[in-house]
Structure 1
Amino acid sequence: MDNRQAIGSWLSGPRAAMEDAGADFGHRGEQLGLPAEGPNSLARPGRRLGAIAVDWALCLLIAYSLITHGYDQGSTGNWALGVFFVMSAVLVGTIGFTPGKRLFGIRVVALETGTVNPLRSLVRTALLCLAIPALVWDRDGRGLHDRLAKTVEVRV
């Protein structure tokens, strides 16, 4: 093995190294019954990060607007987190997506029923606001907040 191959396997991560060794993991979302590509396939991390960045920017704008109009009872970040919580819980629990998710072609679905009920959306959003559960991913790329709420983000 030359140095380029060793460095390449290290940079690609353990999954790529195992696949190079012959292990078959299948496609992401296969264990969940999702297709490999196209509609209803697992949303990729880049799309999900883009969607949450758009949602957070929108919430910061709303929070800044609230503060500049005389409702200053905390920092912009605290207000933005509150706006994000309400927006995400209500919109995901009713229509399945936030403005950022809609822009990036993503929707949140429940694994059993296909639609996310408001209680499941509250649990998912509360865990998402804690940030740590969203940073812990499984082999399919689902965050811990999605695993505990039994939801998944799919492409539209």
Structure 2
Amino acid sequence: MPQPQRQLDSRIEIVTPENIAFHYILAGPFRRLPAYLIDCGIILGFLILAFIVLTMTTSFGGVGGLGIGLWLLLVFIVSWFYFGVFETLWNGQTPGKRMLGLRVLSENGQPINAMQAILRNVLRAVDGLPFWGAGGLGIPFYMCGLAAMAAGSRYQRLGDLACGTIVVVERRSRLRGVARIEHPDVVRMALQLPVSFTVSRGLAHALSVYVARRERIAPARRYEIARSLAEPLAARFSLPGDTNPDLLLCALYYRTFIADSSAGSTPLSPEREAQEMADAEVTLP
């Protein structure tokens, strides 16, 4: 019996502790290569411009050798830290990845941290082996990286494996702004929620998706969807067993995005959650 062929870009599912499933499309080598070439073009253009400026500036002072030295130092810094710095500051993206809709995430679906961003790109030198040319200035063939990607199911090069990261295809979210749900029952329920409870990124995005779509869902189906997520929350908050699940999710949304935001005590917003979690399709439990 013939075995089904694995797609070049496959889907994975990551389930959060709140039992919310996020579905991602993994970016294979043919999606990642154009983004890498764009970044290399940006680096090359910047270094050429820097070489011209530095040599012209230092030649007038009779210290042309200083200009070359500064340029070589700049080559080292840009070559080793361009990708890591951008992925740290741009939440897992470089200019090339952003142009082509790719993003680096942790294996658990969370945004990567600075250590992951820097280390996975320092290890790019190993992924790039063998090199054609003189030493570190040679052209990388990325045979090691391609071999690692082909051997695994998540298209992770050696840097990804070492840092626990994946590269996914970004989806454009349609969530826009804060939904206005300031119904008296919602506000009253929000006041009963524990002040100490902190909403995770995954739960925040699930709340944003649910509230944005709830008006287009039939009441019976809305109750069914909300119940599976709201029941464990109601038990955690010691709320009555007959608590309306739709009301509880709306109250938690109100507390997270409206009340706390007005008080300046939360960095969360539906727009930010849509941007940071735009790579995934969300499935409520």
Structure 2 length-normalised TM:
0.40
RMSD (Å) for aligned C-alpha atoms: 3.0
Q: Match for 2:121 among 113, 117, 125?
A: 125
Quote the Cα distance in structure 1 between the aligned partners of 2:125 and 2:158. 12
Partners of 1:42 and 1:154 within 8 A in 2 = yes
Q: Displaced runs of 4+ in structure 1, greater than 4 A?
A: 23-27
Partners of 1:51 and 1:100 within 8 A in 2 = yes
User: CA 1:29–1:150 in 2, change beyond 3 Å: closer, same or farther?
Assistant: farther
1:105 corresponds to 2:101: yes
Structure 2 residue runs without a partner (length 5+):
16-22, 56-66, 130-143, 171-285
Structure 1 length-normalised TM:
0.69
Aligned residues: 130
Quote the Cα distance in structure 2 between the aligned partners of 1:113 and 1:154. 10
Quote the Cα distance in structure 1 between the aligned partners of 2:123 and 2:155. 16
SS of the residue corresponding to residue 167 of structure 2 reads strand
Quote the Cα distance in structure 2 between the aligned partners of 1:25 and 1:52. 23
1:152 corresponds to 2:152: no
Quote the Cα distance in structure 2 between the aligned partners of 1:115 and 1:54. 23
User: CA 1:155–1:113 in 2, change beyond 3 Å: closer, same or farther?
Assistant: closer
SS of the residue corresponding to residue 24 of structure 2 reads coil
- Pairwise CA distance, 1:48: 0.2
Between 59-68 and 97-106, report the one with greater CA deviation: 59-68
Quote the Cα distance in structure 2 between the aligned partners of 1:90 and 1:61. 18
Structure 1 residue runs without a partner (length 5+):
1-19
The within-5 A match list for 1:18-29 is: 21-22=2-3, 28-29=10-11
Aligned letter for 2:78?
V
Quote the Cα distance in structure 2 between the aligned partners of 1:49 and 1:67. 27
Rg larger in structure: 2
Quote the Cα distance in structure 1 between the aligned partners of 2:153 and 2:109. 22
- Pairwise CA distance, 1:113: 5.5
User: CA 1:61–1:24 in 2, change beyond 3 Å: closer, same or farther?
Assistant: closer
The within-5 A match list for 1:45-124 is: 45-69=29-53, 70=55, 71-73=67-69, 79=75, 82-95=77-90, 96-112=92-108, 114-124=110-120
User: CA 1:134–1:67 in 2, change beyond 3 Å: closer, same or farther?
Assistant: same
Partners of 2:120 and 2:159 within 8 A in 1 = yes
Partners of 1:85 and 1:126 within 8 A in 2 = yes
Give % identity: 22
Aligned letter for 2:159?
H
